[in-house]
Structures are given as structure tokens and as C-alpha cells.
Structure 1
Amino acid sequence: MSYVGPDFDPPQPRRSRRGPLTVAVAALVPGALAGWLVWQAVGDGSGGGSGKAAPASSAPASPSATSAASPSAPSTGDDKSSTSPSPTSSASKPAGPLKGKVVVIDPGHNPGNFQHTAEINRTVDIGTSRKECDTTGTSTNAGYAEAQFTLDVARRVRTILQQQGATVKFTQDGDRSWGPCIDERARIGNEAHADAAVSIHADGSGAGNRGFHVILPGSVNAGGADTRPIVASSRDLGERIAGLFVRETGSAPSNYIGDGTGLVVRKDLGGLNLSTVPKVFIECGNMRDSKDEALLTSSAWRQKAARGISEGIVSFLQG
């Protein structure tokens, strides 16, 4: 997602978080990063790109304007296996290690948002302030929309989790003309009493900015927002997803945000502020960088991304 609009404002200046990480990070992220280094050494021919991160940038991210995809935005040509709509709420498998667990997946944005600017521009209360209901999301320079990407990866995640017995619910599945608003996205997870909720996105930063990052909720207690009960559990969820995303995709943590950890804490995101269940966002890569674009538009890589996200969720749910 681009850092313009609701849940997309530039992160506020903060102190460096270069101190010791939690036990979960020690167990997951370093090991996964070591795996990433091995992957780089031997190469990975199926990722759709070079897989090597650009050198760390000393400059802050260059936010790009949120870009709407047109109705006839070009397809990548390799989406056929996972983009057919299916019910927003799905029953759990009769058996499996995740039987009884509820996961809410939030595919960021909506392909129809650009046709409903009045609706998505109205503001909603996120506790700390008011923000626009939603945005169009970003896109690659060739026109592959973030909303297409998020739905594709989300559906792949759902398939993997359902195979392990989980009940998976979506905030939207291409089954509504726009939205939902960011407050409703949070409410869907809350009302489902989700054991975990994950919002899937891709960034719209400047060329040369590469890699993924996971956004964790900061401690907020303002208005109708109180994240204090979920801060620790959300961090655990986010650290596990970050570590396993590295392992499954071979992608490096962001070189432009998160101090190389792949983890960012924010207090300005309505989808996190209003959540009462463990929840994180993942920015899977930067759609405006040509090397990340090659990954994000690869069906094979999106399957790897889905496995990384799913395995992180499974690790969290199984403790």
C-alpha cells in the first residue's frame, strides 16, 4: 500500500529500535534471515526476480501517490489458478491441527474503489483521529493493481489454512463494489472473535526501495481505540510471519523502513487501532520497484508469499 491516505500516512518519526528483540524474534527472524543468505548464495530460479535486496538506503522512503487501476488494467497473465471469487466466510475443515481456530484475512483495498471515490473519501473515526474510509491502493508501473495482488495472495492463504482445519473469513472477496471501510475491516475480525487477523498489502514506495515489512500495532488508548490488550500477542504474530516469510520467499526485510528487522510499529492505522484481536499488516514488497515488481507479479512467488504468511499464522496459533 502507498503511504498516502487512510492507513497509509508516512510513519511518524521514532527512535531506533535496535535493542534486543523478543524471544520470538530470536527464535524465528535470525534463523530465517540466515536461510535467506544461503538462498542468495545458491540462487532460486523460480522466484520471478533476482531475489537480492538493494543496498540499504540512508534516505527515507519516497511516498508515491496512490494509483488507481483502470477497469482494463493489464493482467499479469498468471493469476488463473487463484482468482475466482468464493464465499467471504468459509466453514472449517472437519479435522486438522487448526480445527476450532478462526483466522480473518483482510485483502487490502478493493478493485472497485476507484469507481467510488465519494464513498471511500468519507472519514471514519480510528480513535486517535479521523481518516478516509479506504483508498484505491497502489499498482505496478505496468498497471497490476495492489487490490488484485492482495486478493490473489489472500485466496492462496485461505486454501492453505483451510487444509489445516482453520475457519477462514475475509473482509472482502471481490464480492462488493467498494470497501469495506477501515473501521469495518477491524470490526469483522472483532466480531468473528478471530484468533489471528492479517491484512495483506503491497507498498507503493520509490524505486530502489525493496523488501517486505510487517506492521505491528503500537499501544493506543484513545477514543474507541484500545490496543493495549493485543500489543504483545500481535507482536508475536508479526515476528513469526516475518521470520517465516523470509524462509519461504527468500525475500529480504525492507531496506527503507524497519531498521532491517522487517518490523514496524505504528499508531496511525485504523485497521490496527480498532482491532480487539491479534492483528498485523504485511507489506509484501514495493510495487514501484522493478525487481520487487518481478516478484509480486509472479504466480510462483505469490504462492511462496502465501506459504510464508500461512506458516507464520500456524506457528502463532500453535504456540
Structure 2
Amino acid sequence: MVLTKEYRICMPITVEEYQIGQLYMIARHSLEQSGNGEGIEVVENSECVDPKHGKGRFTEKRIHLSSRLPYWIQAMIPKIFYVTEKAWNYYPFTITEYTCSFLPRFNISIQTTYENNNGCTDNSLNLTPEELAERSVERLDIAYDEVTPKHYKEEEDLRFFQSKKTHRGPLVEGWQDSYTPIMCSYKIVRASFEVWGLQTRVEDFVQSCVREVLLLGHRQAFAWIDDWIEMSHEDVRQYEGKLQVQTNQLVQQSAPSALQVSLQTAACGDFDAISDGCSIGSTPSITPNSPKSPAKKGYFSWF
């Protein structure tokens, strides 16, 4: 059974503003989380076109994170380990998929849409009655839900933060009920790990990680608003490109390239796991269909 959750995250900005803020936040967050051979390696960032959604942006990234996993997971995986992220951004609608370089039965998919409201839309991603029946909804409060101590920064505490350029904030308790402007990120996260004895534990761990990433990312997007609010689309794309180069350098400084890792693993007899888990050097040209509950074991979807 796939673990399906819908997260609703409100922010005191508009959907139009967040198109810039999201790109800025992801680029900066990726750089800050990278170093010592771990972090986020950008493989591709290019335009794409979909018959239904129109023009968009396709990105492929490799997330190197072995030492950041709990010990009970580290014991099951190779020393060099990464997750592949493929994302299709047709803002304000996006699809993101995650697969694993070592665990082909691990797969996460996330569908997202953004609306200028406070999270009041009951079925913003047009789920079927069957999907609605298995969905659980959690609202995240970027000001009053706590991030882990290692991620806490006083200057990003939105209970006290006020933007100098927009004068938005601080956010008082219950702010989502009356604040303007306000927007909501609606995210359907499907997670599945079809390995007997570990499925529930891994799926719960994945959802907890997704929750933390969503909370921290949206929190930072608003906390950094003075850095991006005056940027144009061209400005933020240039910023994104510059930071992607820096991020890749940090990841690659003390780690073998992803291709070298793949060849080394294949030589040890794990080629099938690699080829099933993520295709090295290949990029799908077609946007995946909207994820539904898996028709067979082995399909896993998340954020």
C-alpha cells in the first residue's frame, strides 16, 4: 500500500511572486546543503514542452547524502549513494520524481499546484474518489511548526522576522486565517518501498524527511524575500546558473563522478539495480502521467 499525504503550506506572498522566490530558494538552499562530496549535483536544466501543460523546465539532479541517513539505512546501502530527482516545472503545476541508485523498488512522486488562497481548496489536484479516500491532509505552519534544531536560525524565525522591503511579518499565531497576501502550496506526496520487513519504517521515514524539507524550504523562501523580491525572471535564472556551478564544484571536489560510481557498482554485480533505479545519462523527453496508486508492486511515488 502506498503512503499518500497531502501537505498544504501557506506563505504571505502571491503565487506570481513565488515563481521567483522558489527558484531563488532552491538554488541557495542547494548550495548551503552541499560540501565534502555530498549535496545536490545538477545534471540537466533545460526547457521542455508538454501537450497539456505547455512550456516548462526540466531538471535532473543527483542528491548525494550517504552520511546524512540514519545508521539503520546506512547499514543497507553502499558507501557511495545518491538519489536521482527529476522535475517538470510547468508553474504553477509541477511534477517531481525521486528514484534511488541502489534500491530500484524505492520511488517517490510529488505533484504540486499553487493557488492564491489559504489552503481552503479541498481537491486542488483533482484526485479520484479512491485517492481521496486514502489521502491524509496535513497543514504546515511556516512560523509555528518547529524545524529541527540543526536547521534553526534566529534570522529565519518568522515569529519575529519582518521584511524590510515589503514590511510583511512578523507572523502572529493564526496568521493564515486573515493575512494578505497569502498563497498555498498543495503537494500530494506518494511514498512506497516494496521490501518486506522494511516497508512501513522506510515509508514513514521518507514522509518525515519530506515534511522537514517542505517546512524548511517554504520558511526560507519567505525569510529570504528581501534578497529576491526585486529580481526579474532573467535575474533569478542567472543567479540559479551561477549557484549551480558552485554547487556542482562543492559536490565533486571530494567525490567520484556519478558515472564513475555507477561503473564501479556495476563491476561489483549491481548493474540491474542501477539500471532499474535510475538510468545514467538518459532523460525522459515526455512528462510522466499524473501519478496514481500503483497497479503493481515496486512502483513508489513521493514529493
TM range (shorter): under 0.3
Normalised by the size of structure 2, how large is the TM-score?
0.26
* Structure of higher CA gyration radius: 2
Q: Which has the higher strand share?
A: 2
